[in-house]
Copies of this chain bind each other. A is one copy, B any other.
Amino acid sequence: MELLLLSNSTNHGERMYAHAAETFAQVAAGSTVTFIPYALAAWDDYAYRAEAAFRSFGVELVSAHRAPDPARAILEAEVVMMGGGNTFRLLDTLAGLDVLPGLGHRVRTGETRYLGASAGTNVACPTIRTTNDMPICQPVSFDALGLIPFQINLHYVDRDPASTFMGESREERITEFLEENPCPVLALYEGSWLRVSGRTATVTGRSRLFQRSSAEAFDDGVDISHLMDLIPRFDRGTRPYARAEP
């Protein structure tokens, strides 16, 4: 299995995907990449920008939405690039195309290499329960591809101590997730990514790892291969909140 999961598509002041160009080119080497644009509304524009970016680092890319049968194009790809945007829209569309089980299987068996950024990274997780996106449409299920057995939170930011904003900080939101679900959350700051090759999982850049029992910070990459053996667990049942506390 070969995965490259970016926190963000674009670093501040840089061109799209430029910060990970070398790694993209390595993983995609020798293949045409099938782009999946459904996280944004304007596919033609999005595909045009993705093609230009990949061309600049020597990789050919074609968008699935231009194929006569987009689902088939996705399920026959040697490499997919799952573009960022809105995670709910992306998952809903992939479910509508009925490609989730097939694509998941092909990535797990190594037939398809998987590149993703932002929303495209979220749908590689077991569920989309740690997305930052607005739930603009309602997928049948929050269950996603499950290519890794833990959750990722993207565009991670520390609380600004000078801020007067009273909404939840990102850390508080992840704490709420952990209250409900006993599943680790890898938080990737912008500019960071996770690379999985076989059973080896390595973070490049800054990250944090949140679990119910611990919170760790990594300033300069980390090997988290031990998490690949995890069996993911999520709350599935009726909320206990429907009963009064004793």
Contact = CB atoms under 8 A, between A and B. Distances in A.
A137 B132 contact: no
Interface stretch (A48-56, A90-98, A205-213, A218-226): A90-98
B89 A10 contact: no
Q: Tell me how many chains of this kind the complex includes.
A: 2
A66 B244 contact: yes
A142 B135 contact: yes
A93 B241 contact: yes
Contact of A166 (B12, B135, B173, B243): B12
Interface of A: 8-13, 38, 41, 43-44, 65-68, 70, 85-86, 89, 92-93, 96-97, 118, 128-138, 141-142, 154-155, 157, 164-168, 173-174, 176-177, 179-181, 190, 235, 238-239, 241-245
B138 A141 contact: yes
A137 B243 CA distance: 17
A190 B166 contact: yes
A242 B135 contact: no
A80 to B, nearest CB: 16
Contacts of A190: 165-167
B179 A167 contact: no
Nearest to A66: B244
B165 A241 contact: no
A101 B79 CA distance: 47
Given A67-B244, A96-B242, A190-B166, A235 B137 contact: yes
Contacts of A176: 41, 85-86, 89, 133-134, 136
B8 A136 contact: no
B136 A181 contact: yes
Nearest to A243: B70
Contact of A96 (B9, B43, B154, B239): B239
A73 to B, nearest CB: 9
